Amino acid sequence: MNKILIIFADDLGLTHSSQQRKIWDTIVKQAGLEHRGIHSLRYTHVPNLIDKETYPLAISRRLGHSSIKITMDLYSHFFERNKKKMVGLSESIQGGQKVENFEISF
């Protein structure tokens, strides 16, 4: 039988950070994973968004950052990784020939 996790909010429709942390810790433990903070979800989610070529500004807004600079300061290495993948893809499309002046800007 599958278990369903239901999170109950208070009268204002909010969950408190201590409640969220407790639920998260329970999920991680039940999954048999070593302890990691709930923000580790962001470090999984962001590379997935970048791999899907989501615009950096859209990622920044989704994460609730006050500026795109914060997003780029925290996650620029993921954009660099994706840039290298795109260069490799371009080379394979061109039959293994290196493509000159191919650049992805962000």
Q: Is it the case that residue 62 has pLDDT exceeding 80?
A: yes
What single DSSP character describes residue 52? T
Domain that holds residue 64: 39-99+102-106
pLDDT reported for residue 105: 45
Is there a domain that residue 25 lies in?
no
Q: 37-46, 57-66, 97-106: lowest mean pLDDT where?
A: 97-106
Is there a domain that residue 66 lies in?
yes
Overall number of domains in the chain: 1
Q: Is it the case that residue 1 has pLDDT exceeding 80?
A: no
Q: Is it the case that residue 82 has pLDDT exceeding 80?
A: no
- Report whether 90 contacts 103 (CB < 8 A): no
Is there a domain that residue 76 lies in?
yes
pLDDT-derived band at 17 (thresholds 50, 70, 90) equals confident
- Report whether 40 contacts 25 (CB < 8 A): no
The reported pTM is: 0.56
Give the pLDDT mean for 60-76.
Answer: 90
Give the pLDDT mean for 57-68.
Answer: 91
38: three-class secondary structure by DSSP = helix
Is there a domain that residue 106 lies in?
yes
Is there a domain that residue 94 lies in?
yes
Is there a domain that residue 69 lies in?
yes
